[in-house]
């Protein structure tokens, strides 16, 4: 193909004009064959979103599957975090075993679920004291125990919801910003 032929479909009439399908196909093939996306964007003067859209639309199935972002359910995330917290896996081992792209994702999950973390087996042994505990101390202990039980219930309910969402393939939790019907 001569430079003149290439120029016919490389340039656009104006900035908001459409690219020639042959050029799009050529760029997609180059990226699939190893041309870095940043280079393609620089060489052809593209926008990142245009190239991303073309790769999704015109890219081969093989390329799309390879570059597809894997999503993990809350149940899967909790399972991974639990395994790490129990010492059965390191973050690096979990990354490899579950095909997770970055260790940062796992660290983020750990932070996310740390707020829900509740020790199931908490051993509360009071040292033998000669002094009878005050009413205030007993109230504090009762409140502390009630808080632990509430946290345990929350964790159990969250796990139950995760399992239900995973098995039934529906969103049970209300998404933020969802419209509510007025009665």
Interval 28-82: pLDDT, tens? 999 888 888 899 889 888 888 888 888 888 888 777 776 666 778 888 888 888 8
Would you state the pLDDT for residue 127?
58
Of the candidates 70, 85, 72, 77, the residue with the CA atom closest to the CA atom of residue 159: 77
Mean pLDDT of all residues belonging to the chain = 76
Prediction pTM value:
0.37
> Rounded to the nearest 5 degrees, what angle is found at the Cα of 65, between the Cα atoms of 61 and 68?
130
How far is 103 from 99, CA to CA, in rounded Å? Answer: 11
In terms of residues, how long is the chain?
183
pLDDT (mean) for 139-154:
83
Give 139's pLDDT tier (boundaries 50, 70, 90).
confident
Give 124's pLDDT tier (boundaries 50, 70, 90).
low
Higher confidence at residue 9 or residue 168? Answer: 168
Helix 21-32 and helix 3-10: axis angle, to 10°? 100
Would you state the pLDDT for residue 83?
86
Looking at the chain, list the stretches that DSSP marks H as alpha helix, in order from N- to C-terminal side: 3-10, 21-32, 37-44, 48-58, 61-67, 74-85, 91-97, 103-114, 135-168
pLDDT (mean) for 25-30:
90
Query: Quick one: what percent of the chain has pLDDT higher than 90?
Result: 2
Q: Is the pLDDT of residue 23 over 70?
A: yes
Are 81 and 110 in contact, with CB atoms under 8 Å apart?
yes
Would you state the pLDDT for residue 121?
44
Would you state the pLDDT for residue 1?
43
Higher confidence at residue 26 or residue 145? Answer: 26
* Per-state percent for the chain, helix, strand, coil, to nearest 5: 60, 0, 40
């Amino acid at each position: 193909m001569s430079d003149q032929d290439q120029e016919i479909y490389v340039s656009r009439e104006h900035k908001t004009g459409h690219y020639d399908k042959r050029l799009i196909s050529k760029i997609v093939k180059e990226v699939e064959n190893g041309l870095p996306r940043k280079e393609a964007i620089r060489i052809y003067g593209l926008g990142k979103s245009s190239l991303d859209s073309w790769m999704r639309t015109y890219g081969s199935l093989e390329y799309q599957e390879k570059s597809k972002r894997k999503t993990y359910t809350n149940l899967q995330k909790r399972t991974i975090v639990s395994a790490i917290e129990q010492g059965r896996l390191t973050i690096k081992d979990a990354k490899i075993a579950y095909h997770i792209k970055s260790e940062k994702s796992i660290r983020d999950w750990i932070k996310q679920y740390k707020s829900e973390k509740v020790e199931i087996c908490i051993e509360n042994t009071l040292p033998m004291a000669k002094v009878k505990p005050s009413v205030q101390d007993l109230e504090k202990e009762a409140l502390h125990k009630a808080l632990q039980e509430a946290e345990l219930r929350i964790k159990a309910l969250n796990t139950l919801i995760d399992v239900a969402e995973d098995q039934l393939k529906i969103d049970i939790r209300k998404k933020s910003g969802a419209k509510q019907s007025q009665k």
